[in-house]
Amino acid sequence: EPEVTQTPSHQVTQMGQEVILRCVPISNHLYFYWYRQILGQKVEFLVSFYNNEISEKSEIFDDQFSVERPDGSNFTLKIRSTKLEDSAMYFCATTGLAVNNEQFFGPGTRLTVL
Amino acid sequence: KNEVEQSPQNLTAQEGEFITINCSYSVGISALHWLQQHPGGGIVSLFMLSSGKKKHGRLIATINIQEKHSSLHITASHPRDSAVYICAANFGNEKLTFGTGTRLTIIP
């Protein structure tokens, strides 16, 4: 069964460093999302991406965050200058041909900022 | 404001018991999702529904659009059902708005 993959599974970084989280969506999916979950809290929406551009972003997704699809397969989330409060589990999710379809989640990347 | 509320926050039951987890939402939705999150953190989609009822194995999801309420039921619960169950909604757009989750523990 096709699945969403994410790398790395765990990233430890120093405050102020840049990190790039990578996602490989299911091949024929068109809608891509990043969510995050701070330990002990609920999952929060960060950004949605369709047709090579951001379709919606949350208040959390400030100028420190960016997304792109550099090679038509990978979908990346970059945090330019990490803060302690960026420590969380980051999930990539993808949806097929229509909005409001089932979302398929990757296994997550646990980001720890020291 | 688009909000999703779940209850209970924690639920402990004996193996074999019938389990019900409830979800309510604030305004009209286009779809309601039930998700399962295992201790390692991974999230799996269980159901997506916009009306009526869906069944998969021992899991049943129902939704009442008029009452803005959905339930997830587990019949003949088993220790392997222990996980966090999350209700999430599409409020007319593609992003999901999540509830806080229900931590279910099934004791053998």
Structure tokens at B2: 């688009």
How big is the CA angle at B18 (ends B22 and B99), to the nearest 5 degrees?
20
Look at residue A98 in the predicted model and tell me its pLDDT: 64
Is residue B69 pLDDT above 80, yes or no?
A: yes
Q: Does A33 touch chain B (CB under 8 A)?
A: yes
Q: What is the pLDDT of residues B3-35, one digit of tens each?
A: 999 999 999 999 999 999 999 998 888 899 999
For an interface test with A, which of B6, B43, B45 has the most A Cβ atoms less than 10 Å from its Cβ? B43
CB distance B21 to B6 below 8 Å? yes
Q: What is the pLDDT of residues A23-68, one digit of tens each?
A: 999 988 889 999 999 999 999 999 999 888 999 999 999 999 999 9
Q: What is the pLDDT of residues B45-55, one digit of tens each?
A: 999 999 999 99
Look at residue A35 in the predicted model and tell me its pLDDT: 98
Strands A10-13 and A109-113, sheet pairing: parallel
Cα–Cα distance, B35 to A78 (Å, whole number): 26
User: What percent of chain A is modeled with pLDDT above 90?
Assistant: 77
- Nearest-by-CA chain B residue for A99: B94
CB distance A74 to A89 below 8 Å? no
Write phi, then psi, for A105 (nearest 5 degrees): -100, 145
DSSP β-bridge partners for residue B21: B72
* pLDDT band, residue B40 (cuts 50/70/90): confident
Is residue A99 pLDDT above 80, yes or no?
A: no
